[in-house]
Chains A and B, each alone.
Chain A
Amino acid sequence: MRALRLPRLTFWGTTFWVIISAGLVSTFIRFTQGLGASTNLSDAFPWGLWIGFDILCGVGLAAGGFVVAASVYIFNLDRYKPILRPAVLTAFLGYILVVFALLYDLGKPWNVWHPIVMWNPRSVMFEVGWCVMLYSAVLALEFSPVVFERLNMGWAKKAIHAISIPLVILGVILSTLHQSSLGSLFLIVPEKVYPLWYSSSLPYLFFLTAIAVGPAMVTIESFLSYRAFRREIEVPILGKLAKVTGVALAVYLVLKIQDIMAYQLMPYLLTFNTESMLYASEILLGVMAPIVLISLRKIRESRTGLFAISLLVVLGFILNRMNLSVTALERYSGVNYFPSWMEISVTLMVIAIGFATFRLAVKYLPIFEHPDEPAAPKDAPQYDVVSFHEVLK
């Protein structure tokens, strides 16, 4: 007689299904009753959590893809090869989820394809739309060798490999363009943004923080994969990559200090209010603390240190994007926006889907191991000693 077996309940498994259920309920309300019924958005506050987190943070947190791809292919830094695939996978999943979340936020999601035929080159949003579209295609191609490898389609993998350099260059150009353009979105509302966050260098600030958060996100993923799959963490590699974060944050800090002087922000900094507190925590915890910790070799090259640094950078990044898109606009709007439970549950669902898909991809695709690729550098020509001998004669 077979014993009745209940599925094993785990904490994360339960959390996952609770989040998905709540998200599905919210999805139903969003698409049957509209944005007004499902969100706390209003005419005075038209962009909320879905733009601030799902789009601004989502795109930024996927920046690891282009940072690592550029390091490996353009700069020929082969030591980063082991983390290339997880980084590209994160980026690819990230962009799919960004587009998925965008469909919730758009009032008429069925018109999402309109920028393809209805052009407005003066619009930052138009440019972001095109870049996200093209870059998603580039990421699909960059990721495709993993799938081809699994399906034993050597010829297709070779075809992609042949165009890898132009593909990566295109990816880097598109990424830098729209990562910075997400900041340019707010250039046009100088009198609406709270002075602490407005700057004519917003595109450069967004670009630098994207470069900084990319490696941090890749590091956090490596730690999570370690927990899930008991695989070793490439601490020495990730420690080196953390230096990229450090440099990007240092340049960012210089620009921020320059802004404080150029826009005379001291009075705003010294005013004790919600804005100054959030600004201070963003800079102290998300920028200054990581710079100090990264510059200390012992911490950078230790497992816990590296994790702490990456967590600070990621949380600081999220705080920065939320501050600009929500905090900085609240005072002007006169509205106290806080997302509804439906907005929050959809965002949590998007994150949960991201984790679950990443887990599945790692389980079924050769993400972390490279069976048919030898450890040797990818393109290094293997010179035959004998043929040189002939040449030198």
Chain B
Amino acid sequence: MTRYGILIDITRCVGCYACEEACSERWGNPASDVHELSEIRNTAIRQVDEIYVPVQCMHCTDPTCVSVCPVAAFEKTPEGPVIYDADKCMGCRYCLQACPFDVPRYQWHSLNPEVRKCDMCYDRIRNGEKPACVEACPAEARIFGPLDDLIQEAKNRIAADPGMYENHIYGVKEAGGTSVIFLSPKPFERLGMKTNLPEHPLPTLTWAILSKIPNYVFWGSTLLAGIWWITNRRTEVQAYEAALLKLQERENGKNGNNRLSA
């Protein structure tokens, strides 16, 4: 299965917010003037000085949200998008806590709250269409396609105009790689993007511990049973020896030193 992705070229974004509007329409969200991710905004254009920075779910290769969810409400699809099933969700919000890109948002004021985040328009992709934001973008700041092609395209753009671009494709290595990748005219940390993320997927940190559990259960219970056997045996032997001592005392008594019969 071809893995798809989105290449976001920050140098091309003109801040027209067409992507935000298309996204809201596709999700049935109300219009809003707040250009930040929220429960009614799954993609947003943040303004940093004179630069417009699109933000949305990164659709990680090994997503933290998929790994932390106790009920497997998140799924990394073979096509690339990370999707969420609200019917499974029990609302523990570990995904909000754990996401390295701080993407998921919660319907705090709902009595049947759901997590909200971009799903790369999974339904449209499966129908052979582009995601709504990509289709709406008049400046081609977002392009959609097979991820490998997009990475090659990003490399070509940097090579063609090294003065224009920061020599880094954000998302190729961050947190083990993502399906949404960025090109920028400035160092990424100056655009408010996290540059201190490890290059390995974050779920490896918890898996290092979790994978030890079967071994621990086996050896731990064997050890405890062994300790019990030893301490229990000791109690038995003590009782036996005490009984033996009593017996010896009684026999000694029979051999003439018995004060009771005297």
Contacts and interface: CB of A to CB of B under 8 A. Distances in A.
Interface of A: 31-37, 41-44, 46-47, 70, 73-76, 105-109, 111-112, 114-115, 118-129, 165, 169-170, 172-173, 176-177, 180-181, 184-185, 187-191, 200, 203, 377, 379-385, 388-389, 392
B89 interface: yes
Given A46-B96, A177-B216, A114 B196 contact: no
Contacts of A123: 67-70, 72, 94
B210 A46 contact: no
Given A75-B231, A108-B112, A385-B247, A43 B70 contact: no
B195 to A, nearest CB: 10
Given A106-B91, A176-B220, A380-B239, A120 B97 contact: no
A111 B91 contact: yes
B228 A41 contact: no
Contacts of B68: 123-125, 188
B113 A127 contact: no
A42 B224 CA distance: 44
B207 to A, nearest CB: 6
Residue of B67, B73, B224 with highest tally of chain A CB at under 10 A: B224
B143 to A, nearest CB: 29
Interface string B235-259: 1101110011011001000000000
Contacts of A177: 213, 216-217
B111 interface: yes
A115 B213 CA distance: 18
Given A169-B224, A169-B225, A188-B205, A125 B92 contact: yes
A121 B71 CA distance: 9
B228 A191 contact: no
Interface residues of B, number: 67
A179 B193 CA distance: 35
A107 B93 contact: yes
B209 A169 contact: no
Contacts of A37: 109
Interface stretch (B9-17, B98-106, B153-161, B180-188): B98-106
A47 B71 contact: no
B197 to A, nearest CB: 6
Closest 8 pairs (CB-CB, A-B): A107-B91, A36-B108, A76-B231, A111-B90, A125-B70, A36-B109, A46-B96, A120-B72
B124 interface: no
Contact of A122 (B93, B100, B206, B234): B206
Contacts of A106: 90-92
Contact of B72 (A31, A46, A118, A181): A118
A381 B235 CA distance: 9
B108 A41 contact: yes
A364 B203 CA distance: 48
Given A115-B70, A125-B70, A203 B93 contact: no
A191 B196 CA distance: 7
Most chain A CB atoms below 10 A, which of B105, B205, B231: B205
Contact of B235 (A47, A170, A377): A377
Contact of A385 (B108, B202, B250): B250
A385 B231 contact: no
Contact of A188 (B98, B220, B243): B98
Nearest to B103: A43
A74 B231 contact: yes
A170 B222 CA distance: 11
A105 B106 CA distance: 13
Contacts of A73: 228
Contacts of A189: 97-98, 100, 202
Task: Give the most central of B91, B97, B100: most A CB within 10 Å.
Answer: B97
Nearest to A38: B108
A31 B112 CA distance: 10
Contact of A173 (B69, B224, B243): B224
